[in-house]
Amino acid sequence: MQGTMTGPMDEDSDVDVLVVLDAEEHEQWAKDENGPRNALNAVKRKLEKKYPNQEVYVDRNVVAVKFSDFTVEVAPAFRYSDVRDPDPPSKSAMFGFTQEDPRDGYAIPDTYGGQSWVGTNPRKFQSMYDAVNQNNEGNLQKVAVSAKKWNEENGKPVNSYHMVMMAYKYFQNDAPANASTHEHMSNFMKKLPQYVHEKTKEPVYEERIDRGMSRKEKREAAQKAWKASKKIEEAEHLKEEGKTQEAKEKYREVYGDGFR
């Protein structure tokens, strides 16, 4: 998918995994009412057998395998036309599409607030993500990785994909020109409490990424983001005062020991 496996802060990227399943072989998952959750649980069991010493858990539409210094996220998928009652793209997303119709993509399980199959078009989104990343000198990718790292170290208040979409949203709408990577990271974290409360849509299907979050969950996530933003402000003040080491320690409280 978009290449944001969470790892050490000095690594640019790895990739999460989209596994396209055969609809005939796994018809019970593609067509049954409980198929989305059953597919995730089946993948979870297989990964637990393969990695018995690692933490394996379902996170909305992926199965995550947590290693000591990175997390692999595996999303089971079918062709969009193969699943039972997939959530359709929004009307605005469908309008104007011809050769690159987003419905030509895949369906992945979604377990926020129930369960369903939702559309995803990795190739289309990858091209959009890469364009924004290149236009910002690779900083979208760096901010997305650091944001996912913060998210994991703070109990995952939002889904990883949701976090990546908020980073994408920042560079689409709010990122200042010619800012450094460090400035973008700080600016994004300061914007994060606002983004958590707002609607977040993925850019191909324009589906709500946050639709399964309750008001309480959003409030708790925003509070964690607000606390992180205040620590960043403290770190910036320390840096301005020439207290470089103290500033680094404060940044590490936000981004973890991998921050340099």
Q: Quick one: average pLDDT of 117-128? A: 86
* pLDDT tens digits, 230-259: 999 999 999 999 999 999 999 888 887 766
**Alpha helices in 108-179, H assignment, sequence order:** 122-135, 139-153, 160-173
User: Would you say residue 99 lies in a domain?
Assistant: yes
User: Would you say residue 6 lies in a domain?
Assistant: no
User: Would you say residue 216 lies in a domain?
Assistant: yes
- φ, ψ for residue 225, nearest 5 deg: -65, -40
User: Would you say residue 10 lies in a domain?
Assistant: no
Domain span including residue 227:
17-255
Range in 119-123, 130-134, 231-235 with the lowest mean pLDDT:
119-123
User: Would you say residue 233 lies in a domain?
Assistant: yes
**pLDDT at residue 96 is higher than 70:** no
What is the β-pairing status of strands 62-66 and 71-79?
antiparallel
User: Would you say residue 115 lies in a domain?
Assistant: yes
Model pTM above 0.75: yes
**pLDDT at residue 92 is higher than 70:** no
Q: How many helices (H) and strands (E) does the chain have?
A: 9, 6
Q: How far apart are CA 218 and CA 233, in angstroms?
A: 22
Return mean pLDDT, the chain. 85
User: Would you say residue 224 lies in a domain?
Assistant: yes
Comparison of pLDDT for 1 and 108, the residue scoring more: 108
| Residue 71 confidence (pLDDT) | 84
What is the β-pairing status of strands 116-120 and 62-66?
unpaired
| Residue 128 confidence (pLDDT) | 94
User: Would you say residue 4 lies in a domain?
Assistant: no
| Residue 258 confidence (pLDDT) | 67
Contacts 24+ apart (CB under 8 A), 23-31: 23/78, 23/79, 23/82, 23/83, 26/78, 29/76, 29/78, 30/78, 30/82, 30/83, 30/84, 31/83, 31/84
DSSP state of 154: T
Q: How far apart are CA 27 and CA 40, in angstroms?
A: 14
Query: How many domains would you assign to the chain?
Result: 1
Comparison of pLDDT for 191 and 59, the residue scoring more: 191
* pLDDT tens digits, 181-201: 989 999 999 999 999 999 998
